[in-house]
Amino acid sequence: TNIEEPLETTEEQLDSIKLSGLMGTKLGMTQSIMEDGRVIPTTLIQLGPCYALEKKEKKNKNSVKVGFLDVKPTSLNKPKLSYFSKLNVKPVKHVKEFDLLVDVETKPGTVIKADIFKEGDIADVTADSKGKGFAGVIKRHNFAGLRHTHGTPQNQRSAGSIGACAYPGRVWKGKKMSGHMGNERKTVQSLKIGDLDVANNVLYIKGAVPGFNGSELKIKPALKK
């Protein structure tokens, strides 16, 4: 399969593509010192490099398939390699579809930068949370536990009774119990973008986001502002 490098992109094309979100990588956390002396926890997110792959035209709105994270061709199957070869772009690991806010012509391989956001924007960040393994009810659901005095045996961290009475004669679905904790798709809403480094495609977001350092995530304009 003939896989070529992405097409060259002009500055005019970079400024013209406005999408409803992008994919990125969590770099880690730091602190931002505000003018009034407040210290704000800040998350650094590396957006992209993301590439425009294919424009999808619909009745009410248009969208663009966006590729993220370069990958070796040997890691993909033949149908996926054939898709990238037809578009004449190098293969990528993740493909997501985002709404096209301004209807413009796009070319496969066009690099999409972080300038779709600006300082002061409110965004929602979605990622897989850290996996914690099997956890008890105190760690998983913030149970208080039993008291440690007055003859309580060695079960202070137990969940206590889980059953009802003769009715319903079973455990209700959704009962908070011990089990697998973390490794779930989570979205943190209404996070403010404190700063933006367009040259390096880095966002400085106030607050914490799901996932570990190096995990992939998706950033979109906030639904609740």
- Quick: pLDDT tens for 70-98: 899 999 999 999 999 999 998 999 999 99
Q: For 33, what's the count of Cα atoms within 13 Å in the CB-facing half-sphere?
A: 1
Task: Examine the pLDDT at 156 and tell me if it is beyond 50.
Answer: yes
Most confident of 16-30, 98-112, 118-132: 118-132
Q: What is the pLDDT of residue 17?
A: 75
Interior/surface letters 96-108, b for 16+ CB within 10 angstroms, e for the rest: bebbbeeeeebbb
Interior/surface letters 13-47, b for 16+ CB within 10 angstroms, e for the rest: beeebebebbbbbbeeeeeeeeeeeeeeebbbbbb
Taking the C-alpha atoms of residue 47 and residue 209, their distance in angstroms, rounded to an integer, is 14
Most confident of 32-41, 114-123, 133-142, 191-200: 133-142
pLDDT band at 152 (very low <50, low <70, confident <90, very high): confident
- H or E stretch including 183? none
Q: Which of 130, 62, 59, 152 is nearest to 98 (CA)?
A: 62
For 137, list phi and psi in degrees, rounded to 5. Answer: -70, -30
Pairing verdict, β 22-33 and 216-221:
antiparallel
Share of the chain above pLDDT 70, in %: 93
Which region holds residue 79: left if phi is over 0, alpha if psi is between -120 and 50, else beta?
A: alpha
For residue 142, the one-letter residue type is N
Taking the C-alpha atoms of residue 48 and residue 204, their distance in angstroms, rounded to an integer, is 14
2 versus 50: the higher-pLDDT residue is 50
Taking the C-alpha atoms of residue 218 and residue 128, their distance in angstroms, rounded to an integer, is 10
Collapsed DSSP state (helix, strand, coil) of residue 70: strand
